[in-house]
Amino acid sequence: MGTTNIRDILTCLSPSLDFFAISSGDGRIKIWDTVKGQVQTEFADIVSTETTASLFTKPGGHLSMDYTCMKWLSCDRKKKRKLGTSLLVLGTGSGDVLALDVSAGHLKWRFTDCHPGGVNAISFPSHGSFIYTAGADGLVCKIDSMSGNLLHKFKASTKAISSLSVSSDGKMLATATSQLKIFNCLDDKKLQKFSGHPGAVRRMVFSEDGRHVLSSAVGDRHVAVWKLDGSKKKSVCCLLPMDHPAVFLDSYCIKSGVENDASLGVLAISEIGVCYFWHGKSFEELHNLKPTKICASLDEEILKKHKEAVHSIFSAKLQSIGTSGSGHMFVAYGLLIKPSFEKVMVQPGADMRLKSSLDGILLPFSQSRKSKQASNTQSQVTALDCANAEGALLPLPKILDQVGVEHGIKPTVSKDVIGKQGEDEVTICMEDQLRSIGIISSDYDLSPSSILDPKILKGISVDASMPPKKMKSAVLSLESPDAYNLLNALVAAWQSRSSMGRHVLPWIYCILVNHNEFVTSQEPPTLLDSLNKLTRSKVAALSCLLQLSGRLQLVMAQIEKADNRKSPALTLEGRMDE
């Protein structure tokens, strides 16, 4: 059976378990309703706060934010299925901390540059009045959850903090690199320190009673349990073995009031989407117990046909533990484009396999073959709903005219089209098509050398395709004033005709690199200011031009479709007249 890796996927269940947030690294955040199994809302319009535009920034939010961590904060857990007091807090690779108001569907607040270098972890106590964040700068920040204002910060490590956790009562704070440190939240005093992980800690969580800390590092095939007793002993309390490193941890503890009669459970999800469950009376006892494994999978026959449809467990919450040691948990599993949600009961020692549905898998809808000719022109139809259609990979769509839709005509592929398939692979650029019909001026072919003064060029051929080494040698052969004059002329040529960018931009770059001291020393810096404004305007127009190009291609395709439909219609009318 195939496996999938979920370590780069951000998931989070709401405290009431009614909603599930997931982000797969494309800049989008989907909020699923776990009761209805549908997408509640989607955040895809959040843009970076950087003032400089980026060529890789897409309108609509896709790939515009690099989310690194996610936590769901609820200020009032008694009100179920009401998102008014529910915030989804996220950290980004650029160092920002965001809070999304899920019910309103907009950004509530943003803390810009909270951790330069990136935010790595977010945590908060059970009351949720403030949150703690940590990142690459080694700082821990305390932020008001409603306003986003910084309340307090302190230096917890000289290295980048990879994980962070706060006890449920908000009295203790744990930070981790490869080393764990326990702090008092009131005075930031370090209480205890643990060492033992060979690499950076990926996940860390306090036990419910606040007496232990569970952690798992990158590459560690176990969960380490550390006892918080204030002693000088810094060794691990026990190790819970796993087949693969953990990406999610949770625990649950029941106190009966009688010593040595407690009941506790530990839940972990590995990076391949397998859930592990341990149950015992103490953490020391868990070390000798075999974990119960829960996995999600399809039938072997379906997996053979759809090898990419590997189901995984994304997130889980340990809700309670029965008297017999059974664990009651809520699980989110399945496929990214169509996850499933279920409450399950796990018995210790009895591995469980969750049966996943076929939702989200692209299955062909086969039609009956009435004749051999019909079988050759048979089409395959894929049915998707609004929740998973955007994340699925679909074949190239076919354009069907309105007349064909009204009469129920099915698109067919003729032999002539198949014969011309190789010719159609050579796509004509939209710009060339517009120039051929006169919409765009034909002065595109003008070269920079034809409009630049030969005295400024100093014998340099700007038009020719020149290797970088020869270009650098030619630029270095110029005196700094001559190179500055050439730079001024190249910028003016690029501003007058955008089509010259492919010729002049390499030379502009080379001059700025090799004569940077002279160029920056010129007063006033009019040339650099104009170059900066020109570059910004070109970048800002790029996304609009790409949208326009796509729409023009669609219009051209529809025009060609209409032209191809007219000739058979005329022939049919001629036959009817005869």
pLDDT in tens, 279-289: 888 888 888 88
Mean pLDDT of 334-347: 89
User: What is the spatial distance between Cα 97 and Cα 74, in angstroms, rounded to a whole number?
Assistant: 17
Instruction: Give the three-state DSSP class for 187.
Output: coil
Q: What is the 3-state secondary structure (H, E, C) of 517-558?
A: HHHHHCCCCHHHHHHHHHHHHHHHHHHHHHHHHHHHHHHHHH
Instruction: Report the candidate in 214, 167, 351 with the shortest Cα–Cα distance to residue 277.
Output: 351
With a pLDDT cut of 90, the percent of the chain lying above it is 25
Four-point Cα dihedral 225, 231, 234, 238, nearest 10? -30
> What is the CA 451 to chain-centroid distance, rounded?
46
Question: How many helices (DSSP H) and strands (DSSP E) are in the chain?
Answer: 14, 28
Q: When comparing pLDDT for 76 and 226, which is higher?
A: 226
Alpha carbon 549 to chain centroid, angstroms: 27
CA separation for the pair 304, 301 (Å, rounded): 5
Structure tokens belonging to residue 497? 């005709």
Q: Which of the residue ranges 11-15, 351-355, 373-377, 473-477 has the most confident prediction, judged by mean pLDDT?
A: 11-15
Intervals of CATH 2.130.10.10 along the chain: 1-161
pLDDT (tens digit per residue) in 207-220 = 888 889 999 998 88
Please state the CATH superfamily assignment of the domain spanning residues 1-161 in this structure. YVTN repeat-like/Quinoprotein amine dehydrogenase (2.130.10.10)
Model confidence band, residue 372 (pLDDT cutoffs 50, 70, 90)? very low
Query: Would you place residue 572 in the very low, low, confident or very high pLDDT band (cuts 50, 70, 90)?
Result: very low
Cα dihedral value 398, 404, 406, 407, nearest 10: -130
pLDDT for 53 equals: 39
The tens digit of pLDDT for each residue in 140-157 reads 999 998 889 999 999 999
pLDDT exceeds cutoff 80 at 332: yes
Q: H or E segment at 456?
A: helix 454-457
Least-confidence region, from 229-238, 241-250, 428-437: 428-437
pLDDT in tens, 449-459: 556 677 777 77
Torsion of CA 224, 230, 231, 234, to 10 degrees: 30
Instruction: List the one residue out of 493, 4, 39 whose CA is nearest residue 274.
Output: 4
pLDDT of residue 122: 95
| For residue 305, pLDDT beyond 90 | no
Angle between helices 468-476 and 501-514 (to 10 degrees): 60
The pLDDT score that the predictor gives to residue 260 is 56
